[in-house]
C-alpha cells in the first residue's frame, strides 16, 4: 500500500497521523508512506524522528480580513495546490489521509481531483473548517466522538473510530503505586492531583497552582505539577522569592515535564488540564475524573466543545480560563477528592467515552476504500 498522510502544525494533528502510519506498517511491512506538511510546524521534528519522509508545501490558515499579509498567504496557499498535485502524481498513492490542519485543504483537494481515495480524521468533538469544507469530497471521515457525526453535513461516510493515543489504562497494585509515588516524595494516603497544561505548560493554570501553594490550601491532597519546560525556571524563581525550595514543598512535586506520563496519569486520582482532543481521549481511556480549563481563543472554541463531551455526562467539571483562580480551583478539587463515591462515578462516566481497538478500526476503514485492499 502506498500512502500519503497530510498532517501539520501541532502534535494533536501529527501524532494521530504517525499512529495510523505505524499501524499500516505493522499490518503491511512493505507499505510506502510519506507525509506532507509545511516548513513551520512540529512535523519537521516528529515525522523524521519517527522514520518517515516529510515533503513540504505552502499552506496557511486564512482569515476573512482583506490585508496584504492575507493576500500573500492566499497566493502561497494557491501555489501549494500545485505543489501537492506534483507530489501526488509522482508518488502515486493508493490513499491520501488527512489528520488535521489547513494542510489538508490542498492535499485532499488535489487527491480528489486525481480520483485517489481520500480519508480525514477529526480528533475534536466539533469538526474543524477543513473537515466541513472537504466533507463532500472525502470518501470517509473518521471521528473521535459519536456526537461529532451529526455536526458533519453532506459527508459520504462518517465513522466513529476514536483517536489513537499512546496512553492506555493500566492497573497498578498498591506496592507499585507507592514505589512510583515515593520517588516523587509523595504517598498513596492523600489523593493525587495531576496538573499540566500541555507540553509547553499553561501560564494561567500555573498561576493558580502557585497561589494554592503560597496559601497552603492543599493540606488534604497532593499535587504532581508539570509546569512546562519554558515556565519551570520562572516558577522556581517566584518560589525562591518567597523562601520556598521547589524540591522541598510538602504534598507537591513540581516538574518541568513528565516523561513517564502514562504511569503518572494511571496512578493519579484527578486530572487538571486543558482540553485538547488527545487529552480528552486519554482521560476517557483511563477513566479519570477531571477538571478541565479549555484554552481560549482557539478556532471554533474547540477545546470548550471537547470539554463539554465529558462535562455533559458528569465526568468532568469545567472552569473557564477567565474565571480560573486559586479558590475556585481548590474548591473543585476538594469537592471531588473528598468524595470517593463521586470520584469513582465520574471516572466510570469518563470511561463510557473510551473507544476500544482504535487503530484496528481505522485500519479496517482504510482497507475498505483502498481498491482491492492493497
pLDDT tens column, 246-282 = 999 999 999 999 999 999 999 999 999 999 999 999 9
What letter does residue 87 receive in the DSSP assignment? H
Q: Which residues pair with 195 in a beta bridge?
A: 225, 272
Q: Are strands 270-273 and 118-122 parallel, antiparallel or unpaired?
A: unpaired
* Radius of gyration for the chain, computed over Cα atoms and rounded to the nearest angstrom: 22
Mean pLDDT, residues 168-195 taken together: 95
What mean pLDDT do residues 8-22 have?
90
Q: Is residue 168 part of a domain?
A: no
Average pLDDT over residues 282-287: 96
Banded model confidence at residue 300, pLDDT cuts 50, 70, 90: confident
Residue environment code for 217-236, b if the CB has 16+ CB neighbours within 10 A, otherwise e: bbeebbbbbbbbeebbeebb
Query: Total structural domains in the chain?
Result: 2
C-alpha cell at 350: 469518563
Compute CA 133 distance to the chain's CA centroid, rounded to the nearest angstrom: 22
Whether residue 247 is found in the same domain as residue 105: no
Compute φ and ψ for 261, nearest 5 degrees: -60, -40
Yes or no: say if 85 and 110 are a contact pair by the CB < 8 Å rule. yes
> Are residues 246 and 191 both part of a single domain?
yes
Residues 195 and 271 in one domain: yes
Residue 21: C-alpha distances to residues 11, 160, 262, 277, 363 (Å): 15, 19, 22, 19, 10
Banded pLDDT at 199 (limits 50, 70, 90): low
Give yes or no: residues 247 and 203 share one domain.
yes
More confident site: 323 or 11? 323
| 316 and 189 co-located in one domain | yes
Residues 83 and 110 placed together within one structural domain of the fold: yes
Q: What is the value of pTM for the model shown?
A: 0.87
Residues 46, 92 within the same domain: yes
Q: Are residues 49 and 115 in the same domain?
A: yes
Question: Mean of the pLDDT values across residues 51-61?
Answer: 87
pLDDT digits (tens, 9 = 90+) for 200-219: 668 999 999 999 999 999 99
Whether residue 128 has pLDDT greater than 90:
no
Q: What pLDDT, on the 0 to 100 scale, is given for residue 63?
A: 60
The CA distance from 141 to 119, in Å, is: 6
Q: Are residues 136 and 184 in the same domain?
A: no
- Asked whether residue 345 falls in the same domain as residue 196, the answer is yes
Which pLDDT score, from 0 to 100, does residue 101 have?
77
**225 and 272 assigned to the same domain:** yes
In a domain, 167, yes or no: no
CATH of the domain at 78: 3.40.50.2000
Whether 211 and 223 have beta carbons less than 8 Å apart is answered as no
When pLDDT is cut at 50, 70 and 90, the band that residue 41 belongs to is confident
Tell me if 169 is assigned to some domain: no
Taking the C-alpha atoms of residue 51 and residue 307, their distance in angstroms, rounded to an integer, is: 33
Domain that holds residue 287: 174-351
Q: Residues 331, 361: one domain?
A: no
Amino acid at each position: 500500500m502506498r500512502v500519503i498522510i497530510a498532517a501539520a502544525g501541532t502534535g494533536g494533528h501529527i501524532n494521530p497521523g504517525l499512529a495510523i502510519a505505524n499501524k499500516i506498517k505493522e499490518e503491511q511491512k512493505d507499505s510506502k508512506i510519506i507525509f506532507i506538511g509545511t516548513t513551520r510546524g512540529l512535523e519537521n521534528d516528529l515525522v523524521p524522528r519517527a522514520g518517515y519522509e516529510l515533503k513540504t508545501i505552502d499552506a496557511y490558515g486564512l482569515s476573512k480580513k482583506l490585508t496584504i499579509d492575507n493576500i500573500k498567504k492566499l497566493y502561497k496557499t494557491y501555489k501549494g495546490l500545485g505543489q501537492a498535485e506534483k507530489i501526488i502524481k509522482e508518488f502515486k498513492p493508493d490513499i491520501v489521509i488527512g489528520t488535521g490542519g489547513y494542510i489538508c485543504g490542498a492535499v485532499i483537494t488535489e487527491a480528489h481531483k486525481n480520483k485517489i481515495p481520500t480519508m480525514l480524521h477529526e480528533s475534536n468533538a466539533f469538526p474543524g473548517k477543513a473537515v466541513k469544507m472537504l466533507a463532500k469530497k472525502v470518501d470517509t471521515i473518521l471521528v473521535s466522538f459519536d456526537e461529532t457525526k451529526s455536526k458533519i453535513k453532506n459527508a459520504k461516510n462518517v465513522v466513529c473510530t476514536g483517536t489513537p493515543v499512546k496512553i492506555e489504562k493500566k492497573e497498578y497494585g498498591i506496592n507499585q503505586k507507592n514505589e512510583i509515588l515515593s520517588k516523587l516524595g509523595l504517598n498513596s494516603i492523600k489523593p493525587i492531583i495531576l496538573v499540566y497544561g500541555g507540553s509547553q505548560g499553561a501560564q494561567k493554570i500555573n498561576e493558580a497552582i502557585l497561589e494554592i501553594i503560597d496559601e497552603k490550601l492543599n493540606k488534604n491532597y497532593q499535587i504532581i505539577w508539570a509546569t512546562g519546560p519554558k515556565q519551570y525556571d520562572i516558577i522556581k524563581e517566584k518560589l525562591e522569592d518567597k523562601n520556598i525550595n521547589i524540591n522541598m514543598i510538602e504534598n507537591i512535586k513540581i516538574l518541568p515535564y513528565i516523561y513517564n506520563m502514562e504511569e503518572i496519569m494511571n496512578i493519579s486520582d484527578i486530572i487538571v488540564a486543558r482540553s485538547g482532543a488527545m487529552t480528552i481521549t486519554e482521560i476517557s481511556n483511563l477513566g479519570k475524573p477531571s477538571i478541565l480549563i479549555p484554552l481560549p481563543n482557539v478556532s471554533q472554541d474547540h477545546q470548550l466543545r471537547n470539554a463539554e463531551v465529558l462535562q455533559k455526562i458528569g465526568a468532568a467539571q469545567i472552569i473557564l480560563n477567565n474565571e480560573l483562580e486559586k479558590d475556585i480551583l481548590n474548591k473543585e478539587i476538594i469537592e471531588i477528592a473528598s468524595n470517593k463515591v463521586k470520584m469513582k462515578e465520574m471516572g466510570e462516566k469518563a470511561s463510557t467515552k473510551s473507544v476500544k481497538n482504535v487503530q484496528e478500526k481505522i485500519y479496517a476503514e482504510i482497507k475498505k476504500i483502498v481498491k482491492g485492499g492493497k
